[in-house]
Structure 1
Amino acid sequence: MGSFILRIIINAAALWVASWILPGLEISSSAASEAVAERGVTEGTDAVGLVLAYLFIGAIFGIVNAFVRPLVRFLALPLTILTLGLFTIIINAAMLYLTSWISSYTPVEFTIDSFFWTAVLAAIIISLVSMVASVLPGARKR
């Protein structure tokens, strides 16, 4: 259970870095924005809502990677071998796009501007951040 929570935190951090670098990637919480507008809540609460939004999208992304990605990787194995592994970037971009589609049915929305460039670049950034964060002590599977 602890490794799953750590994975969600790593996913959220990777999504934050990608959305910070790429202008076409955005996470917004409509429910938190409405609550802030109704109550006149301070900026600190809005920041907490944004962190929770990133953690929520990180959890969705983790679930998609745990259940859908292995099947897609297996089905795309011949194409991955043919492209010497470069098709894995397209698979990662598709998992991001699937996460975006799933989040459109939740109060927290994850939007991607365009599938090809934004999603592919985000997939590369998220993979690099996740790889670096996985090297941190305690992040490895035991």
Structure 2
Amino acid sequence: MEFFTRLVVTAAATAVAVWLVPGVELTAVDTADKVITLLVVALIFGLINAFIRPVVTFFSGCLVLITFGLFLLVINALMLELTSWAAGTLGLGFHVEGFWPAFWGSVIISIVGAALGALLDTERS
């Protein structure tokens, strides 16, 4: 159940980023296509963050330490761009147009995802 909650939270956070950030685009015809696209993009983003992000973070550990963790924002942006590339390869209507939209999009996805996750987390006391 937690997997589906995280998937929906990430999809909703991505929808907010699409709404707020110029350059983060969702091109779907109707509402059902938009929801499905957002859910698949959230799944791709979750897989990339689960498997690729730790490797990139490990190999850029010195930069993360030197910048006091601020380089993690760059890594998050790169993971969103990689998600955009993967979505385009799969023919999904999700695209990020460059580094700065990816940067601000990843910041918004992180903030909104954390806020929604905190609101929906009923298992913790």
Same fold (TM over 0.5): yes
| Residues 48, 95 of structure 1: alpha-carbon distance in 2 compared, 3 angstrom cutoff | same
The Cα shift of 1:136 comes to 1.8
**Alignment of structure 1 residues 1-142 onto 2, 5 Å:** 2-29=1-28, 33=29, 46-115=30-99, 117-138=100-121
The Cα shift of 1:135 comes to 1.0
SS of corresponding position for 2:25: strand
The Cα shift of 1:134 comes to 1.9
Give the paired residue count. Answer: 124
2:76 and 2:63 mapped to 1: Cα distance?
A: 14
1:139 and 1:24 mapped to 2: Cα distance?
A: 34
Work out whether residues 12 and 58 of structure 1, in 8 Å CA contact, stay in contact via their aligned partners in 2: yes
What is the identity, as a one-letter code, of the residue corresponding to 2:21? L
**Structure whose CA Rg is larger:** 1
- What is the TM-score normalised by the length of structure 1? 0.81
Can you give the 5+ residue segments of structure 1 that lack an aligned partner in the other structure? Answer: 34-45
1:128 and 1:118 mapped to 2: Cα distance?
A: 15
Which runs of 4 or more aligned residues in structure 1 lie more than 6 Å from their structure 2 counterparts after TM superposition?
none
SS of corresponding position for 1:26: strand
The CA RMSD measured in Å over matched residues stands at: 1.6
SS of corresponding position for 1:108: coil
1:73 and 1:126 mapped to 2: Cα distance?
A: 19
